[in-house]
Amino acid sequence: MADIVISSSKEEAQQQAPVHACACGDHDAGYPELDARVIPHAIRHAAIFGAIDSIAVGGGIVLIAPHNPLPLLEQLEQRAPWAFDIIYLKQDPEEWHLQLVRKA
């Protein structure tokens, strides 16, 4: 169960914030993973863009795809030119891991 902090200002709340000790994964090191292989093909790109659109500057995500997602990356570049650094972490015939980090 999370602790509840009541404060009169944002700064006071940040100073009093308890250590995050649940199992939600919010405090894990690294970027969260999104396994696109389990998303139905008909909604895959929309679901991925929903996740990508929620990433703040400096944040990122590791996308796991069943193939090299070049069409998706082209769409991302059209939607947000130069907004992401993309690093290929793993390139196997059936499993590709890409790290996307928002820079702007």
DSSP 45: H
Q: How much is the average pLDDT of 64-85? A: 95
Q: What is the pTM of this model?
A: 0.71
Class of domain 25-102: alpha beta
Kindly give, in sequence order, each residue whose CB lies less than 8 Å from that of residue 77, ignoring residues fewer than 6 positions away. none
17 pLDDT above the threshold of 60 = no
Task: Report the pLDDT value the prediction gives residue 89, as an integer from 0 to 100.
Answer: 97
What distance in Å separates the CA atoms of residue 15 and residue 81, rounded to the nearest whole number? 37
CA 55 to chain centre: 6
Residue 23 — pLDDT band, cuts 50, 70, 90? low
Which strand ranges, in their side-by-side order, compose the sheet holding 60-65? 33-35, 60-65, 96-102, 84-91
27-34 average pLDDT score:
82
What is the reported pLDDT for 96? 97
Angle at 36 between CA 87 and CA 58, to 5 degrees: 40
Confidence of residue 29 (pLDDT cuts 50, 70, 90): low
> Where residue 3 falls among pLDDT bands split at 50, 70, 90?
very low
DSSP code, position 23: S
